[in-house]
Structure 1
C-alpha cells in the first residue's frame, strides 16, 4: 500500500482537486459536505482539468469534489459494506467471488476508502470499450461508475466521514472478465434479455423497441427523465396499436432505465424508473399509432 501526501492550506479540497486534475481526471464541484449534489449543471461536460478554472471555482467555497469517470477514461468499482440488518456478503467479498467464478484476478489498483468503510477501485477503461453505470449487475453491493457517472473523489468530506486515498498506484486496466460481466444484460425479472417470439405482432415494433431502448441508454446527463419518458410514450403508442407486447416493452425499457441509476440527480432508484416507464406506456397506449402510419 502506498499513500499520497497532499499539502494542507486553508482549503485542502482545492489541493485535492488540483492533484486529481494533474492525474488527467476532470473534476467538478459538489455541494459542501454532500455526495449527490453537483454545484453545476451539465457537470459531465463541464468537468475540467484546467488548474486556473479549478482555483477560481474552489476559491469560492469548500466544495466537495466530483470526478467525471467517463471523460477520465475510468471505470470505478464501488464496493459497499453490509448495513445493519442486511444479509449476504460485502461488496469486496462478492467481487472476489465473481472473479474466481470467471477465472480472473481482481488487480490491485488505485483505491479510495469511503466513509462507510467501502472501497472505490479505479480502473482504466480499455481502448474501444464503452461502458455505462451499473447497480448490482455484477453482484449485490457491487456497483460501477463509467460513462455518464461520477464518484466522490478523495479529500471530500461528508457528515459521516471523509473519502480517503488508500492506494495511489496508477490505475490498472479493467480486467477482461469484468468487462464481460458489465457488458452482459442483468439476469433479473425486470431486465432479463428480451426475446421477441415469432408470435409477436411485427418486426417493425421490435425494431422500434430496440431503438428506443438504445436511445435511453445513450441519454446525456440532465436529460435522463425526459428521454426515458418520451421513449416510453413512443413505445406505448405502438403497444396500444398491438405492434408490441406490453410485458416485453416494459421489461426492455426498465432494463435500459436501470443503466442510468445513480449517475446523476435522476433517476435515484428503480422505483422512480418504473414509475416513469409505466406512466409513459399508459399515456402512449391511450393514443395508439394507426397501423398504416406504422408501416
Structure 2
C-alpha cells in the first residue's frame, strides 16, 4: 500500500504489519489496548504459560490481523520495541491557562536540532488528531531504548521498548491518525540517540545478603536480578524492578527464599538505579504478591 490515508483502522494495521511492525488491537475510537489485563487473565490460549501483555501479543501475521479485526472496529497500536522503532511524539499545547502559550513540540524539537547543528530529520511521519506529529526512526543497532517523557523537551515524548503508538488509519473522537510524510523510516540520528541514551557511570552491583541455606542457583538468581535492577536505565527501571520481583517471587512461593530477603535486595538495587523508596516498596510488594499467587508452593 502506497497511499497515505486508510479507509479503516484494519487497513492501517495491515500496512504497519507489511512494514514489519507488530500490531495489536486498541479499543474502538480509543488509544487504550483492547486486550485483557493481568487481573482478568484466563491463562489460556496465548496466555497459557503466563499472562501475555500487548507487547508480547503484537503480530505481523496478516491472517491473524484479519481475524481479529473481523470481530470489531478496533484501532491499531504498533509495539515500537519489537518493531525496532523509536518514535518521537511531538505534541501541541492543550487549550488551558497553563499550556496554551507554550511552544509546540515541533517548535521545541526544531530548536533542539538547531542547537545540535543538524537539520530536522526527514523520515516517515504520522499526523495525530490533535495536530501533533509522530516521527518514526529505526532504533540503533544493539540498543534497547525505553520510553521518555519530556527528556528532550516540553511536549516531546519518545516511544520504544515498553511503549506503543497509534497506527495511521486509527480514529478517535478528535479525528484520524494520517500519514503526513510517507518517506522511508530513517535511522535515529546519532546526536539524538546520545540524548536518549547518555553515557552513564556503571553502577556497582548492590551487596546481596543471602542466607547460608539457600541453594546456589537461587542465590545466583537473587544476585543477578538485583544487578539487573541496579543497572537499569531511566525509562526501564520500574519495569525491570517488577520483572525481577516476579521472577524471584517463585522462590518465595517454593520456600527457597524469605520474602524479606527479596524485598531488601530489590529495594537496595532499585535505589541504586535512582528510584526512591516510595517507588520501590509498593512495586516490589505487588509484584511479589502476584508471583506468589501464580506459582505453586511446596507440596507436603
In 1, Cα distance between equivalents of 2:237 and 2:167 = 22
1:13 to 3, 9, 14: 9
Question: Counterpart in 2 of 1:112?
Answer: 126
- For 1:181 and 1:27, how far apart are their aligned partners in 2? 28
1:54 pairs with 2:68: no
Match of 2:188 in 1: 174
Q: Do the aligned partners of 1:216 and 1:224 also contact (CA within 8 Å) in 2? A: no
Tell me the alpha carbon deviations over residues 182-234 of structure 1, each in whole angstroms, 9 at most, x when there is no partner: 0028xxxxxxx8999xxxxx9737x997642336879799x678348779x87
Distance change in 2, residues 1:234/1:115 (3 Å): farther
Matched, 1:226 2:203: no
Q: Which moved more, 1:92-101 or 1:65-74?
A: 92-101
What secondary structure, in the 3-state scheme, does the structure 2 residue paired with 1:144 have? strand
2:163 and 2:4 map into 1 onto residues whose CA distance is 27
- TM-score scaled by length of structure 2: 0.67
Q: Following TM superposition, by how much is the alpha carbon of 1:277 offset from its aligned partner in structure 2, in angstroms?
A: 2.6
| Cα gap change, 1:116 to 1:229, in 2 (>3 Å) | farther
User: In the superposition, relative to structure 1, how do residues 281 and 129 fare at CA in structure 2: closer, same or farther (>3 Å)?
Assistant: closer
Cα distance change, pair 227–203 in 1 and its aligned pair in 2 (3 A): closer
SS of match in other structure, 2:72: coil
8 A Cα contact 1:35 1:64, kept in partner? yes
Q: Give the paired residue count.
A: 240
TM-score, normalised via structure 1 length: 0.68
> Residue in 2 aligned with 1:253?
275
Mark the CA change 1:204 to 1:90 in structure 2 (over 3 Å): closer, same or farther.
same
3-state DSSP of counterpart to 2:151: strand
Instruction: Find the residue that maps to 1:139 and give its secondary structure.
Output: coil
1-structure distance, mates of 2:90, 2:261: 37
Superposition RMSD in Å: 3.8
1:79 and 1:119 in contact (8 A); partners too = yes
Task: Quote how far apart the aligned CAs of 1:37 are.
Answer: 2.7
Q: Secondary structure at the match of 2:184?
A: coil
Measure the CA separation in 2 of the matches of 1:184 and 1:234. Answer: 33
Deviation at 1:279, TM superposition (A): 4.1
Q: Match of 1:120, SS?
A: strand
Between 61-70 and 38-47, report the one with greater CA deviation. 38-47
1:183 aligns with 2:197: yes
- Report the CA distance shift for 1:210/1:105 in structure 2 as closer, same or farther (over 3 A): farther
Secondary structure of 1:123's aligned partner: strand
Match of 2:31 in 1: 35
1:228–1:277 Cα contact (<8 Å) kept: no
Q: Which blocks of at least 5 consecutive residues in structure 1 are unaligned? A: 186-192, 197-201, 255-273, 284-295
Q: Cα distance 1:210–1:136, how it changes in 2: closer, same or farther (>3 A)?
A: farther
Give 1:24's aligned residue. Answer: 20
For the Cα contact (< 8 Å) 1:250–1:278, is it kept in 2? no
Q: Distance in 1 between matches of 2:261 and 2:30?
A: 37
Report whether the alignment pairs 1:98 with 2:109.
no
Alignment of 1:86-235 (within 5 A): 86=99, 87-184=101-198, 204=207, 211-214=228-231, 226-227=242-243
Q: Is the 8 A contact 2:230 2:271 kept in 1?
A: no
Q: Give distance in 2, aligned partners of 1:19 and 1:108.
A: 20
Q: Which runs of 5+ in 2 are unaligned?
A: 37-51, 209-222, 249-259, 287-300
